[in-house]
Chain A
Amino acid sequence: MLAFIVRRLIQSIIVMLAVAFIAFSLFQFTGDPINNMVGPEASAETRQLLRERLGLDKPFPIQFLHFVGNVVQGEFGVSYRLGMKVEDILVQRLPATLELVAVAALLALAVGVPLGVYTGLHRYGAVSRLMLTLSLVGISLPTFLIGILLILVFAVWLGWLPSFGRGKVVSIGWWTTNFTSWDGFRSIILPAITLSLFQMTLIMRLVRAEMLEVLRTDYIKFARARGLTNRAVNFGHALKNTLVPVITITGLQIGALIAFAIITETVFQWPGMGLLFLQAIQFVDIPVMSSYLVLVAFLFVIINLVVDLLYYAVDPRLRIDRAAVGAH
């Protein structure tokens, strides 16, 4: 177990270093940063002085180490576009994205799992066929179009829900939340549905496929032969055994949710990290781009690690196999 964790940690560190290298090399392609900071009339001495102060006269590997050191301490530099410290902007934007992603993930699970179980159990029912067809349409609908359609129906035509922004948010310490006011809660509904729809179809199809697989196994037949109720067989035995892949995929899909939040946030002008990143790309705001990259990679690495550990906790076979291998 310990060896497994250590190996995964080392892998994660290598990935993070590779990402940091990409983020760092972004700066190298945009010409001399000194030119961005001082005017063209600055003398050679001022340039040299600034260069020495920023450590830009050092060789490439030393500069990279310097960059990594700064990032580890949470210093990401100053945004070209906004003129603020990037870490401050990120802290300000992070709660919006995380709340949106959390609500979308819960929504996707709450709808996707029951639908998956239902379509798995009633394989040839009319409702199941309808859900499967709808899910194919759902996969073919791009996220931004779902958002636009929801805005058109619920904000423009019906006027029930707000179409952009977070509405009224309440700050708790540095965190800002949507859930303590009715206006904030109303604002998160459309973006969360938009973001979760694709994941919902994915989870439904996954649970369905796993259920079909599990229902064919001998232990389910045996459970039925023992005269257990349908309920006990379907939920106690079958559903429980489909959960391992569901946990893995859902966990890994949280990464996808963070990425797709870029699109949802753009459609709904949601003031999160994704919108910030997109604006950074359009304005070639390198410090923001590279910090977003590092931060998102860090979140992904953490998610992957947690999922691996969960996998380990949920599936006892893994533990036994390892122990057996270790004993020999």
Chain B
Amino acid sequence: MTEMHASATVGGRTVDLIRRFLDSDVFHSFKRSPVVMVAFCVAMIFFAGAFFSPWLTPHNTFDASTLNLMDAFRPPAWKAEGMKEYLLGTDDQGRDVLSTIMFGMRVSLIVGFCSVLLAVAIGVTLGLISGYLGGAIDSFIMRVADVQLSFPAILVALLIDGFARSFLPRSMHEELALYVLILAIGASNWVQFARTVRGSVMVEKGREYVQAARVIGIHPAMIMVRHVLPNVIGPVLVIATLALAVAILTEATLSFLGVGVPPTRPSLGTLIRVGNNFLFSGEWWMTIFPGAALVLLVLAVNLLGDWLRDALNPKLR
């Protein structure tokens, strides 16, 4: 009896949430902007294509037995020497370019999402501590943030990557490359989260609900997580979207430079790096298609981030 009652409320609450979402300003501004809707569709198609790539790709590029060197360097299907089973052509080893792009985008997105999660985790934690506790801890964290911010993120990421390389034995570089990359990109992007959260926390700290929580003796850590955090997380969402675009670009850049993911598990950046070797001999499709996929993905995420920032900003309504 009680169970049924509970599930009914949960169902009712979900319907209610959906209705509230459809009524909200955010959804309203989404409906009114065709550019954002296109960007959303592009992003969703890319996400789906990347995450379900093992089931969706026309060819399994990791299975050496299906590769045929006779098919190497095929131009896209609409060209004279193109074959229709390889829509976007093939690379130097006869792998289907469309399939490698889908697998590559999967790696790019995994690194992108994980590193943003890491940056959010570090940034929000330090921002909460810094803003809530204040004093010497606050000024120390913010000084470190200032110094890191005066160095471009790509340089910090390169340094952490280089640091990890000199620290780890050479044989482990390939296996751990993905984690090193996530660590490097995540750790180079935490500052903006910390600064934003700190700013909002300092405002929220003086509010009555925080004082009330403090008066009834709740532990500071609990107040930070349960009471302050939910009220400062909005802007974090916006920055995280824009940071995802930056993280994907940073990953592509590092992989292009040859210090990112290994060629055995290529990301979009690695594909462009490999394709770049064949640019002068006229096999442009090996570079241009992964490059176009990367730019479209980042552009879509950037557009969504820009829109989200404006839609959530009450000043612009």
Identity of the chain B residue whose Cβ is nearest the Cβ of A26 in the assembled complex: B166
Chain A residues contacting B291 (CB-CB under 8 Å) are: 145, 148-149
**Stretch among A89-97, A116-124, A234-242, A253-261 lining the B interface:** A253-261
User: Helix, strand, loop or mixed for chain A's interface?
Assistant: helix
From B87-95, B153-161, B197-205, B227-235, the one touching the partner chain is: B153-161
Q: How far is the CA of A300 from the CA of B147 in the complex (A)?
A: 10
Which of A174-182, A224-232, A278-286 participates in binding chain B? Answer: A278-286
In the complex, how many residues of chain B place their beta carbon closer than 8 angstroms to a beta carbon of chain A? 39
Please, which residue of chain B has its CB at the minimum distance from the CB of A303? B150
B273 nearest in chain A by CB position: A144
Is A139 interfacial (CB-CB < 8 Å)?
Answer: yes
Contact B253 A259 (CB under 8 A): no
> Which of B162, B165, B256 is close to A144, meaning CB atoms less than 8 Å apart?
B256
B294 partner residues in chain A, CB cutoff 8 A: 142, 145
Q: Is A13 an interface residue (CB 8 A)?
A: no
Cα distance, A296 to B256, chains bound together (Å): 22
Question: Which B residues are in CB contact (< 8 Å) with A267?
Answer: 276
Interface residue A60 (Cβ < 8 Å from any Cβ of B):
no
A108 close to B (CB within 8 Å): no
**Known contacts A140-B302, A282-B258: A300-B166 contact under CB 8 Å:** no
Restricting to B230-254, which residues have a CB under 8 Å from any CB of A? 245, 249, 252-253
Q: Is the CB of B150 within 8 A of A148?
A: no
Tell me the chain A residues, 245-279 only, with Cβ under 8 Å from chain B.
252, 255-256, 259-260, 262-263, 266-267, 277-278
21 contacts between A and B (CB under 8 A): A26-B163, A26-B166, A136-B299, A136-B302, A140-B245, A140-B298, A142-B252, A142-B298, A144-B252, A144-B272, A145-B294, A148-B291, A151-B279, A152-B287, A152-B288, A263-B154, A263-B257, A281-B162, A281-B165, A284-B165, A296-B155
4 additional contacts, CB 8 Å, given A22-B159, A26-B163, A300-B151? A151-B279, A262-B155, A284-B170, A296-B155
Q: Which residues of A contact B (CB under 8 A)?
A: 15, 18, 22, 26, 29-30, 136-137, 139-145, 148-149, 151-152, 156, 163, 252, 255-256, 259-260, 262-263, 266-267, 277-278, 280-282, 284, 286, 289, 293, 296-297, 300, 304
